Structure 1
Amino acid sequence: MSETVQYPDRDRLEDVADAILVGRAVDGDTGAFETLIRRHGPLMRAYTARIVGSMADADDVVQDAFHTAWRRLPELRDPAAVRPWLMRIASRLAFSSLRRKPAEVELPDLESALPADTQPENIAVRNAQLRALSAALDTLPEDQRRCWLLREVGELSYDDIAQEMELPTATVRGKLARARASIYAQMEGWR
């Protein structure tokens, strides 16, 4: 990617498949890469925010993830699988960032986005649900929580999670089943 290329149809890139965008970005089309950022950045931000504990730290992680992705994009074997690839990069950087934090520093509460319906009572209920889910996630063992986040927030496949965590797929399925059962039991009052 030595030279930046701009294509005249940049405004129409929103409807282009990921695989094509990756190919164009590898050829130096920054507009195609920007489209990938707009398309996958919000999910990466939400996922990493849950790991690192704040939106500000998540923004740093996502920025680093996209910087890494831009440099390593030619190494991507399956351009259609760019989303799981980006999520793996973000996951590694988020957990690395978390390991660098001093152990005695408490992580702040996760900032939550407002729902579309901005009635105060709906906001209060939604925030209470998110706090309950966050508390339920905090009770899980680290490996179960990580599996659950990769699957439910990161939307990775069982095989991608197994690869990311270096575990057999059957083990990932078991950890997810235990995590879901625990969360289901703890969230009983919200159904």
Structure 2
Amino acid sequence: MSIDLTEAADGTLASRAAEGDERAFEVLLRRHLGLMTAYATRLTSSRADASDAVQEASITIWRELPGLQTPDAVRGWMMTIVSRKAFDLIRRRRPAADVDELEVPSTDGAHDDPERRAQSSDAMVALRQALDRLPAAQRRVWTMREVGGESYADIAERTGSSVTAVRGQLARARESLTREMEAWR
């Protein structure tokens, strides 16, 4: 008899996967794959590089899960690994020129209402454009914090700056985005 793991909490899945349960790992990975891919795409500006980063991250996640001390924090831990792999790719090679549109899955039922779907799509286009207008350092810090959920200390370590500098860049990015997205509130 197989157990349905689709409703299991992330921490439960992480614990089971750490013990070698491949099905639990598949459910955990599938649950967060869209977010991991969107995050890596935003960091690398390349769908191809993002796919490579997520694939490398998935292998690392499987290998390092037994050492995870806090299974309930697995999502943030996974996003940190995706971030590292994305930055490793950026350092190793220039991003590919085939940048695709960032696809963000709808979770608010907007897919049922064409008008809401169009408004949501327009808002996402406006957000992408506003993000593209940010200085690269601010965009990277904003993405790592708001999309990846990384801590200020982790961002500072990965970007080679101080926590104070990260907070400043993030504050400026948030201020700019709030101002530019005011019409969408």
TM-score, with length taken from structure 2: 0.78
Q: Tell me which moved more, 162-171 or 86-95.
A: 162-171
Identity %: 46
1:74 matched to 2:69? The reply is no
Residues 160 and 103 (structure 1), Cα distance of their counterparts in 2 relative to 1, 3 Å cut: closer
On the 8 A contact 1:44/1:62 being kept in 2, the answer is yes
Residues 10 and 137 (structure 1), Cα distance of their counterparts in 2 relative to 1, 3 Å cut: same
Distance 2:74 2:124 in 1: 29
1:101-126 Cα shifts (integer Å, max 9, x gaps):
5468363333454642341x433332
Distance 2:5 2:57 in 1: 25
Which residue identity is paired with 1:10? I
Structure 1 unaligned regions, length at least 5: 1-7
Q: Which residue of 2 is the match for residue 158 of structure 1? A: 152
1:29 matched to 2:21? The reply is yes
Q: Aligned-pair distance for 1:56?
A: 5.6
Q: Tell me which moved more, 135-144 or 165-174.
A: 165-174
On the 8 A contact 1:21/1:36 being kept in 2, the answer is yes
Distance 2:14 2:72 in 1: 8
Of 163, 170, 175, the residue aligned with 1:176 is: 170
Q: Aligned-pair distance for 1:98?
A: 4.1
Q: Which residue of 1 is the match for residue 112 of structure 2? A: 117
Residues 143 and 107 (structure 1), Cα distance of their counterparts in 2 relative to 1, 3 Å cut: same
Residues 24 and 124 (structure 1), Cα distance of their counterparts in 2 relative to 1, 3 Å cut: closer
1:56-114 Cα shifts (integer Å, max 9, x gaps):
65344322211111122233343332222211111122233345554683633334546
On the 8 A contact 2:14/2:24 being kept in 1, the answer is yes
On the 8 A contact 1:84/1:160 being kept in 2, the answer is no
The residue correspondences of 1:20-169 to structure 2 (distance < 5 A) are 20-53=12-45, 55=47, 57-100=49-92, 102=94, 105=97, 107-113=99-105, 115-119=110-114, 121-169=115-163
Structure 2 unaligned regions, length at least 5: none
Larger Rg: 1
Q: CA RMSD in A?
A: 2.9
Distance 1:58 1:163 in 2: 21
1:111-165 Cα shifts (integer Å, max 9, x gaps):
454642341x433332222121111111222221111112221223334433443
1:154-189 Cα shifts (integer Å, max 9, x gaps):
223334433443443333222111100111122233
